[in-house]
Amino acid sequence: MSADEDTELRDLVAQTLETNGVLGKIRAQLRASVFLALEEQGALESKSQLVNQDLKKFLNTKEGRMVAALVREFLIHFNLDYSLAVFDPETNIVRLFTPVPY
Protein backbone atom coordinates (compact mmCIF):
# COMPACT_ATOMS: atom_id res chain seq x y z
CA MET A 1 0.00 0.00 0.00
CA SER A 2 1.45 3.38 -1.00
CA ALA A 3 1.59 6.49 1.15
CA ASP A 4 -1.18 8.08 -0.95
CA GLU A 5 -3.42 5.06 -0.40
CA ASP A 6 -2.69 5.16 3.34
CA THR A 7 -3.62 8.85 3.46
CA GLU A 8 -6.77 8.27 1.43
CA LEU A 9 -7.84 5.37 3.67
CA ARG A 10 -7.11 7.38 6.83
CA ASP A 11 -9.16 10.32 5.51
CA LEU A 12 -12.04 8.01 4.55
CA VAL A 13 -12.09 6.37 7.98
CA ALA A 14 -11.91 9.76 9.72
CA GLN A 15 -14.74 11.14 7.59
CA THR A 16 -16.91 8.08 8.25
CA LEU A 17 -16.29 8.27 12.00
CA GLU A 18 -17.07 12.00 11.97
CA THR A 19 -20.29 11.44 10.02
CA ASN A 20 -21.42 8.71 12.42
CA GLY A 21 -20.71 10.94 15.42
CA VAL A 22 -18.06 8.63 16.82
CA LEU A 23 -15.26 11.21 16.67
CA GLY A 24 -17.41 13.79 18.43
CA LYS A 25 -18.09 11.37 21.27
CA ILE A 26 -14.40 10.47 21.52
CA ARG A 27 -13.46 14.16 21.62
CA ALA A 28 -16.07 14.84 24.32
CA GLN A 29 -14.88 11.87 26.36
CA LEU A 30 -11.27 13.00 26.01
CA ARG A 31 -12.15 16.57 27.11
CA ALA A 32 -14.06 15.19 30.10
CA SER A 33 -11.19 12.90 31.05
CA VAL A 34 -8.64 15.69 30.75
CA PHE A 35 -10.77 18.01 32.87
CA LEU A 36 -11.28 15.35 35.53
CA ALA A 37 -7.56 14.60 35.61
CA LEU A 38 -6.82 18.31 36.03
CA GLU A 39 -9.52 18.60 38.66
CA GLU A 40 -8.04 15.72 40.64
CA GLN A 41 -4.56 17.22 40.38
CA GLY A 42 -5.89 20.63 41.39
CA ALA A 43 -7.68 19.13 44.37
CA LEU A 44 -4.41 17.69 45.53
CA GLU A 45 -2.54 20.97 45.13
CA SER A 46 -5.12 23.58 46.04
CA LYS A 47 -8.82 23.45 45.33
CA SER A 48 -9.22 27.22 45.79
CA GLN A 49 -7.28 27.91 42.57
CA LEU A 50 -10.04 26.29 40.51
CA VAL A 51 -12.96 28.04 42.22
CA ASN A 52 -14.90 30.40 40.00
CA GLN A 53 -16.04 33.06 42.46
CA ASP A 54 -18.69 34.52 40.12
CA LEU A 55 -20.18 31.07 39.60
CA LYS A 56 -20.07 30.37 43.33
CA LYS A 57 -21.99 33.60 44.05
CA PHE A 58 -24.52 32.80 41.33
CA LEU A 59 -25.09 29.26 42.62
CA ASN A 60 -25.74 30.62 46.10
CA THR A 61 -28.89 32.31 44.77
CA LYS A 62 -32.24 30.61 44.20
CA GLU A 63 -32.17 31.58 40.52
CA GLY A 64 -28.62 30.30 40.12
CA ARG A 65 -29.48 26.91 41.55
CA MET A 66 -32.55 26.72 39.32
CA VAL A 67 -30.53 27.54 36.19
CA ALA A 68 -27.82 25.03 37.09
CA ALA A 69 -30.44 22.36 37.82
CA LEU A 70 -32.09 23.07 34.48
CA VAL A 71 -28.80 22.77 32.59
CA ARG A 72 -27.98 19.58 34.48
CA GLU A 73 -31.42 18.12 33.71
CA PHE A 74 -30.91 18.99 30.02
CA LEU A 75 -27.58 17.15 29.97
CA ILE A 76 -29.11 14.12 31.67
CA HIS A 77 -32.21 14.10 29.45
CA PHE A 78 -30.17 14.09 26.24
CA ASN A 79 -27.60 11.60 27.58
CA LEU A 80 -24.75 14.10 27.32
CA ASP A 81 -22.75 12.06 29.79
CA TYR A 82 -19.34 13.48 28.97
CA SER A 83 -20.60 17.05 29.23
CA LEU A 84 -22.23 16.13 32.54
CA ALA A 85 -18.94 14.61 33.70
CA VAL A 86 -17.37 18.04 33.23
CA PHE A 87 -20.36 20.10 34.41
CA ASP A 88 -20.80 18.39 37.78
CA PRO A 89 -17.27 18.77 39.15
CA GLU A 90 -16.75 22.18 37.57
CA THR A 91 -19.90 23.63 39.15
CA ASN A 92 -19.91 21.37 42.21
CA ILE A 93 -23.68 21.59 41.82
CA VAL A 94 -24.39 18.06 43.05
CA ARG A 95 -23.50 19.06 46.61
CA LEU A 96 -26.23 21.74 46.51
CA PHE A 97 -28.90 19.14 45.78
CA THR A 98 -27.65 16.43 48.10
CA PRO A 99 -29.78 16.19 51.24
CA VAL A 100 -27.95 16.94 54.44
CA PRO A 101 -28.10 13.99 56.88
CA TYR A 102 -29.65 14.77 60.25
User: What is the domain range of residue 38?
Assistant: 3-97
pTM higher than 0.85 for the full model? no
Task: Decide if 69 is inside a domain.
Answer: yes
| pLDDT digit string, tens, across residues 31-60 | 888 888 887 776 655 554 457 889 989 999
Residue 95: the pLDDT is: 66
Residue 39: the pLDDT is: 77
Q: In total, how many domains does the chain have?
A: 1
Phi, psi of 13 (to 5 degrees): -65, -45
CATH assignment at residue 25:
1.20.960
Task: Decide if 89 is inside a domain.
Answer: yes
**Which stretches in the chain have pLDDT values below 70?**
42-50, 95-102
Task: Decide if 102 is inside a domain.
Answer: no
CA distances in angstroms from 96 to 32, 62, 63, 87, 88, listed in the order given: 21, 11, 13, 14, 11
Residue 49: the pLDDT is: 46
Residue 102: the pLDDT is: 45
